[in-house]
């Protein structure tokens, strides 16, 4: 076993949230080490292929996926430097004011300990840091005014524009989608070329993945990234009031200890609670910073109601981005649908590929043989899709817990249990029904919905924020209530899920948390 020289901050995970903390802290002159379980991917590794793109996703090994709606861990997670944000779609909607006050306004779930106005400045800062294209003014029909985005909206294509008539007919206003992509050159990064390979990683830097944004900044400021470093425990002092570093295993399987003045867990909503639960001590018998018993609880996902249509024209569905061209918060009110509680966020216009989970072939999973081949030929010209993301409310039974089985490093596997409730079913169904109406009004020749098991998309919760240890694991900065020099970053700290793609909010909350850590360094880590 080797013990490394003590650093100021050790960050577990080199994805969206870890890279923000690394950039801020290294920028402040702190000595920062980032431990990443997977490889140190470079842009040149991001091959344009759905088959090869699976390399940047995790292997399901450490998690047993249970419940009626098991979490789509393998498709949603990331493996290696950049994390899930290496293959994300870079849709950048934000949470809206109503997301922060569900308890106050509807007596459901719980409020966040902060409001929209606390996060909004960080949305604007992130937009300036990483580059966001969109039309902020157009969005402000649904949200408070803020700064304009630094780039104009992206180009749109027939596969997106063809839906607009249908949305209008159903009273749904669509505006240019806010995306973390370059519509024009930005900070030395080139504009997007609209070839639709975002979801396997953008190697040219037109999409704001961590490699070309915060992680790049962090490295320039001196942060060290150690790939193939699997963290198994967070170490704490005898009194249990401070963390002292982490234990990890290197590529050779050798145990290492990295001591640090502060620890940031940024290993996604799945692995962070697993680590905290596995770091139990005499002082923290239920797991680190888990006096509340809420570590691992309130897992949440989004669900998507997909509507497919084939039009009697070539919609250029090979063109565009994997993210959206158009978006709408028109159904974002929690009670937008009758007898169905929860927000909906609507997007339209995506480039399509042939294979993988989101490919053309999977749009009709019931087809095989010659019928599939005939469909592929038809759909290759005229198929396009809209998606309505829905909100799942936090449910304490959706959780992560350790099992008695162990992985190759002797760390207990974790059981991830997830089941949707009746509200989700109701919102999902309502969005499917509305999607069909939109498609028909748009003039589609064939229309169908992605029925079957309700999908799980994005992962949030497990270490939620709140006002104190009685109701949450961390405060609004991600600082654990019980151990001031232990921070948790990423979607795990969301108090509720909203219906917006989470990464913009992950960046914003991480920036807020990192600036808090930097501003309070002497108190927190001194």
Binding pattern to another protein, positions 188-207, x when CB under 8 A? xxx--x-xxx----xxxx--
Residue 279, SS3?
A: coil
Question: How far is Cα 522 from Cα 526, in angstroms, rounded to an integer?
Answer: 4
The answer to whether 26 contacts another protein (rule: CB under 8 A) is no
For the window 315-354, what string marks contact with another protein as x by the rule CB under 8 A?
---x----------------------------------xx
Short-list 426, 497, 429, CA closest to 457: 497
- To another protein, the closest distance from the beta carbon of 397 in angstroms equals 20
CA distance linking residue 134 with residue 148, whole number of Å = 8
Give the separation between CA 500 and CA 99, rounded to whole angstroms.
10
Find the binder of another protein among 141, 169, 285, 357 (CB under 8 A).
357
Please identify, using beta-carbon distances, which residue of 130 and 469 lies nearer to another protein: 130
Question: Hey, is 300 helix, strand or coil?
Answer: strand
* # of chain residues touching another protein (CB under 8 A): 61
Nearest Cα neighbor of 226 from 53, 75, 22 is 22
Closest CA relative to residue 32, chosen from 524, 514, 523, 519? 514
SS3 labels along 109-131: CCCCCCCHHHHHHHHHHHHHHHC
Q: Judged by CB, which is closer to another protein: 118, or 195? A: 195
Stretch that binds another protein, among 160-168, 263-271, 272-280, 359-367 (CB under 8 A): 359-367
Shortest Å, Cβ 203 to another protein: 5
d(CA 428, CA 432): 6
Told to check if 38 binds another protein by CB under 8 A, we report yes
What does the per-residue mask of binding to another protein show for 446-485, with x meaning CB under 8 A? Answer: ----------------------------------------
> Which residue, 28 or 75, has its beta carbon nearer to another protein?
75
> What is the closest distance, in whole angstroms, from the C-beta atom of residue 336 to another protein in the complex?
32
Q: Is 366 in the site for another protein (CB under 8 A)?
A: yes
Map residues 213-252 to x or -, x wherever contact with another protein holds by CB under 8 A: x--xx-----------------------------------
Q: Which of 376, 432, 447, 518 binds another protein (CB under 8 A)?
A: 376
How far is the C-alpha of 56 from the C-alpha of 87, rounded, in Å? 7
Q: Are 68 and 419 in contact (CB under 8 A)?
A: yes
3-state secondary structure of 53: helix
Q: What DSSP character marks residue 348?
A: E
Task: Kindly provide the residue ranges of all beta strands, DSSP E only, lying in 160-214, ordered along the sequence.
Answer: 175-176
If one asks whether residue 67 binds another protein (CB under 8 A), the answer comes out as: no
Nearer to another protein by Cβ, of 42 and 237: the residue is 42
Query: Is the Cβ–Cβ distance between 199 and 207 less than 8 Å?
Result: no
Residue position matching structure tokens 């806010």: 178
Residues found near another protein in the complex (CB under 8 A): 38, 43-52, 54-55, 57, 59-61, 65, 70, 72-75, 79, 187-190, 193, 195-197, 202-205, 211-213, 216-217, 318, 353-357, 359-362, 365-366, 368-370, 372-373, 376-377, 380
């Amino acid at each position: 076993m080797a013990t490394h020289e003590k650093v100021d901050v050790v960050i577990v995970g080199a994805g969206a949230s870890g890279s923000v903390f690394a950039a801020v802290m290294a920028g402040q002159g702190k000595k920062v080490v980032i431990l990443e379980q997977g490889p140190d991917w470079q842009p040149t590794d991001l091959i344009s292929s759905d088959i090869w793109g699976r390399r940047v996703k995790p292997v399901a090994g450490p998690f047993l996926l249970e419940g009626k709606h098991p979490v789509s861990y393998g498709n949603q997670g990331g493996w290696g430097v950049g994390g899930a944000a290496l293959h994300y779609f870079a849709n950048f909607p934000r949470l809206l004011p109503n997301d922060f006050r569900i308890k106050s306004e509807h007596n459901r779930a719980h409020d966040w300990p902060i409001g929209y106005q606390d996060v909004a400045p960080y949305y604007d800062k992130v937009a300036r840091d990483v580059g966001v294209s969109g039309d902020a003014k157009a969005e402000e029909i649904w949200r408070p005014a803020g700064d304009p985005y630094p780039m104009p909206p992206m180009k749109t294509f027939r596969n997106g524009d063809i839906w607009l008539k249908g949305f209008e007919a159903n009273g749904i206003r669509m505006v240019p989608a806010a995306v973390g992509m370059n519509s024009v050159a930005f900070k030395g990064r080139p504009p997007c070329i609209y070839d639709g390979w975002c979801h396997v990683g953008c190697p040219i830097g037109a999409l704001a993945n961590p490699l070309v944004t915060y992680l790049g900044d962090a490295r320039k400021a001196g942060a060290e990234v150690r790939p193939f470093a699997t963290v198994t425990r967070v170490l704490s002092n005898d009194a249990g009031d401070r963390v002292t570093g982490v234990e990890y295993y290197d590529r050779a399987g050798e145990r290492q200890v990295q001591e640090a003045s502060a620890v940031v867990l940024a290993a996604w909503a799945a692995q962070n609670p697993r680590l905290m639960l596995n770091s139990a001590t005499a002082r923290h018998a239920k797991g680190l910073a888990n006096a509340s018993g809420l570590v691992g609880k309130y897992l949440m996902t989004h669900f998507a109601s997909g509507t497919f249509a084939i039009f009697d024209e070539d919609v250029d569905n090979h063109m565009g981005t994997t993210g959206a061209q158009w978006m709408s918060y028109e159904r974002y009110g929690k009670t937008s649908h009758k007898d169905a509680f929860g927000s909906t966020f609507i997007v339209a216009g995506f480039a399509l590929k042939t294979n993988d989970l989101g490919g053309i072939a999977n749009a009709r999973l019931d087809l095989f043989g010659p019928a599939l081949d005939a469909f592929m030929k038809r759909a290759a010209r005229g198929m396009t899709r809209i998606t309505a993301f829905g909100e799942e409310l936090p449910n304490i039974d959706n959780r992560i817990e350790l099992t008695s089985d162990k992985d190759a490093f002797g760390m207990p596997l974790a059981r991830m249990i997830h089941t949707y409730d009746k509200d989700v079913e109701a919102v999902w169904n309502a969005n499917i029904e509305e999607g069909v109406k939109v498609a028909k009004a748009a003039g589609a020749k064939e229309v169908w919905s992605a029925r079957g098991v309700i999908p799980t998309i994005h992962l949030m919760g497990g270490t939620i924020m709140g006002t104190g240890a009685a109701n949450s694991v961390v405060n609004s900065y991600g600082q654990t209530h019980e151990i001031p020099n232990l921070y948790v970053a990423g979607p795990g700290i969301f108090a509720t899920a909203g219906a917006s793609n989470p990464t913009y909010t992950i960046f914003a909350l991480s920036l807020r948390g990192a600036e808090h850590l930097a501003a309070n360094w002497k108190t927190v880590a001194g």
